[in-house]
């Protein structure tokens, strides 16, 4: 029976590339001259640690990271920026995590939308992915179109089409 998976993952290598290019961009900007700003990526946990002097520079760094992620083909919505920055001596720090998998709230919305659409498919939540199966490939493609049309605040990938 044909099936596919709905997932939300960030490629760690592409994220690392985007962070490295953003670092170089920040070092070459004139408004960051003599700045002690740093951007570090914890590759194991996929956490970006930003340290800088003020809010203006923090916003500029976030903007550079977002633009580099877009150029690498990554969706900036995959970063969880809800946690506020905090002071650390004369500097401010902010930790941003890259979301891996679909959270419970988004998966409930996706499952509800699939069920409400009356398309003849079955959707199952399996850990951090949603598996959709059907007898018809056309029904699966209709579900993909439905998910692309709606906004769930997480980037979705449709993988494992069998």
User: pLDDT tens digit string along 42-75?
Assistant: 999 999 999 999 889 999 999 999 999 999 999 9
Residue 54, number of CB atoms within 10 A of its CB: 13
Report the predicted TM-score, pTM, of the whole model to 2 decimal places.
0.84
Flag whether pLDDT at 35 surpasses 90. Answer: no
> According to CATH, what is the number of the domain 3-8+101-159?
3.30.70.860
User: pLDDT tens digit string along 131-159?
Assistant: 999 999 999 999 999 999 998 888 999 99
**Domain boundaries, given as residue ranges, for the chain:** 3-8+101-159, 12-98
CATH architecture of residue range(s) 12-98: 2-Layer Sandwich (3.30)
The answer to whether 3-8+101-159 and 12-98 have equal CATH topology is: yes
């Amino acid at each position: 029976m044909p099936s596919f998976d709905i997932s939300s993952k960030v490629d760690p290598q592409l994220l690392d590339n985007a962070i490295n290019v953003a670092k170089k961009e920040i070092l070459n900007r004139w408004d960051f001259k003599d700045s002690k700003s740093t951007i570090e990526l914890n590759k194991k946990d996929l956490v970006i640690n930003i340290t800088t002097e003020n809010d203006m520079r923090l916003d500029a760094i976030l903007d550079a990271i977002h633009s580099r992620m877009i150029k690498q083909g990554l969706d900036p919505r995959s970063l969880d920026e809800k946690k506020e920055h905090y002071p650390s001596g004369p500097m401010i720090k902010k930790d941003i995590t890259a979301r891996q998998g679909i959270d419970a709230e988004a998966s409930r919305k996706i499952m509800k939308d699939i069920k409400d659409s009356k398309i003849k498919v079955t959707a199952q939540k399996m850990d951090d992915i949603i598996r959709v199966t059907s007898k018809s490939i056309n029904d699966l493609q209709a579900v993909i179109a439905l998910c692309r049309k709606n906004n769930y605040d997480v980037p979705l990938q449709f993988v494992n089409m069998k």
